[in-house]
Amino acid sequence: MDNNSLRRQWATDGCVLLKGVFDAAEVAAMELDFDRVVEQLHASGEDVNARWESAAAHHENAGAQSVVHTHNVQNYSADWVDALRNPKLLDRLETLIGPDLVLHHSKLFQKPPERGAPFPMHQDWSYFPTAGDTMLAAIIHLTDATEDMGCLRAFPGSHRLGRRDSTSGLVSRDDAENYRRFLIEYPVESATPYPAEAGDVFVFTYFTVHGSGPNLSDRARKTVLCQIYSGGDEMEPRSTHAYSGLVLRGRNHRATRRSVNEAAQRL
């Protein structure tokens, strides 16, 4: 896909599947390191299960048990710093949000075979809002992700909703009913599935309504999700999410001594 086509699809759908960003050799090396990180997580004795616990979406979790997870995989291995700075990835993201690219955080997800938990439909914006709303997610696929493996599903064009309240797990007990109504309005079974192959990257805005089904296959689904925003944008003060602040390309024009120190304290 050329850059003009990419920009048009981004504007229209708020999401795009980038095919073959990473080649087979790169994927093999990344998966090997991914597996090392997962072993390290299990050995730590910590709770590494990211199963969605929202009471409002309890029915969508039935029958599935776990998702192995950690934030900021680049803090485990220099190989992941190199992967996140791969020019083939950053060139495409620069086409979407400009030349200055800041990593808010990354997430490792492994949906185990036959019992990998789903993620109900939601927007991401309320977790880490930015003043200019440039935040995007880029999901790097280290394995294939078929529909029976719980591939990502999204509603193209839903980014036009903007900042809609009650569209994430960050809802109070009193607001849970609004989130239930949102799930009825945007049911996972009606969302467009985006099956992917190893090496593909699925990119979407933090307004795009998305989620995924359970992994019912006999294969693990392995992905690393990167939340990246423009270095000309800035985080809103109310964001308390895990944060990296690593500049992947260009500059962070809004960085200050305080913001950099705060980022370090959140790690």
Predicted confidence at residue 3, as pLDDT, reads 93
The CATH number of whichever domain residue 31 belongs to comes to: 2.60.120.620
Describe the crossing of helices 3-13 and 87-97 by its angle, rounded to 10 degrees. 60
**Percent helix, strand and coil across the chain, each to the nearest 5:** 35, 25, 40
* Structural domain count, the chain: 1
Distance, CA of 169 to CA of 183 (rounded, Å): 12
Positions of the chain with pLDDT under 70: 51-64, 169-174, 264-267
Distances (CA, A) of 141 to 17, 22, 138, 159, 189: 11, 9, 10, 22, 22
Distance, CA of 29 to CA of 216 (rounded, Å): 26
Contact yes or no for 170/127 (Cβ under 8 A): yes
CA angle in degrees (0–180, nearest 5) for 232-204-95: 50
Which residues make Cβ contacts (< 8 Å) with residue 266, sequence separation at least 6? Answer: 240, 241, 242, 243
Q: What is the pTM of this model?
A: 0.92
Q: Determine the structural domain holding residue 16 and report its residue range.
A: 3-266
Structure confidence by residue, pLDDT tens digits, 27-82:
999 999 999 999 999 999 888 887 665 444 444 444 547 788 999 999 999 999 99
Predicted confidence at residue 58, as pLDDT, reads 45
Predicted confidence at residue 265, as pLDDT, reads 61
Distance, CA of 231 to CA of 99 (rounded, Å): 8
